[in-house]
Structure 1
């Protein structure tokens, strides 16, 4: 029998979140690869990421490459209201536990509000603890944007989370 050791608390680092550009596509792709291999993220090609580069918010590490990213897509939910879907949310393993995910999620929620979204949706194959700390709850599939909901692969075991805004 083995027990998991608690992860040591790492010092928070000041982070600046910014909108990605075409120059970030390769770095976002590299950042996402380990999570794609684990099955936590859907595989997206460089071409797909290039088409959607400005969907992403990124946090840079000291060396200039993003240490974390999240994509935002504005959709219409099942009730015809504006909704934002978060996707490809990841923080580089060496940077986890330092506030980068929180900074990204806070910025994403602010952007969703600025877009007039009534709700924010995401899907995760993990525990979803960060999302839960920010007011998301599991469920809401019936209200999720239909095209996005239909794109979820049940074989991956993704669970939908939703957070109302405003």
Structure 2
């Protein structure tokens, strides 16, 4: 008798699509990060950020690149110290931000590849938890073990920076 929970089969196109390779962003990717993120900022899903901010924080970002060199997706991972007087598992927490995948690359495993790489990077840095905010349904995050949480449990400086008018949900995952 097996006790494994059956998982739905991946869509047929996912079986044919190559697993996207993920790399650390470089300062020279800043303009491309801004270009990739712009449609999401215009829709209200992301905050507008200038290329100079992407350049200054390039080390936060993981990216996937199309064969021609165009970025297909990105996600930022910023590490926050533990809150004073609190001791979350691992002491420090990470925040995933500016997670986006170009429309032409959606549904091909790019987002899942980025999220797996971000989880691995967070574990490698011995983070106790990861947080993110989403204005969408958050389905990908939920499939990878994130769950809704309260802002008071998230890194304080990040939680205070969220714009309540955007109506974002905060999700977290213990690592």
1:74 maps to 2:79: yes
- Does the C-alpha gap of structure 1 residues 103 and 164 become closer, same or farther in structure 2, counting only changes over 3 Å? same
Query: How many residue pairs align between the two structures?
Result: 158
TM-superposed CA distance for 1:22, in Å, is 1.0
Partner of 1:22: 27
Report the Cα distance in structure 1 between the residues aligned to 2:13 and 2:40, rounded to whole angstroms: 21
Q: Which has the larger radius of gyration?
A: 2
Which among 52, 60, 68 is matched to residue 65 of structure 2?
60
Partner of 2:3: none
Report the Cα distance in structure 2 between the residues aligned to 1:41 and 1:77, rounded to whole angstroms: 26
Partner of 2:99: 89
Partner of 2:169: 159
SS at match of 2:18: coil
TM-superposed CA distance for 1:142, in Å, is 1.9
Task: Specify every segment of 5 or more residues in structure 2 that has no aligned partner in the other structure, as ranges.
Answer: 1-10
SS at match of 1:34: helix
Partner of 1:124: 134
Are 1:9 and 1:97, in contact at CA under 8 Å, matched by a contact in 2? no
1:111 maps to 2:121: yes
TM-superposed CA distance for 1:9, in Å, is 6.0
1:148 maps to 2:153: no
Partner of 1:46: 51
Partner of 1:5: none
Task: Specify every segment of 5 or more residues in structure 1 that has no aligned partner in the other structure, as ranges.
Answer: 1-7
TM-score (norm 1): 0.91
SS at match of 2:47: coil
Report the Cα distance in structure 2 between the residues aligned to 1:9 and 1:124, rounded to whole angstroms: 28
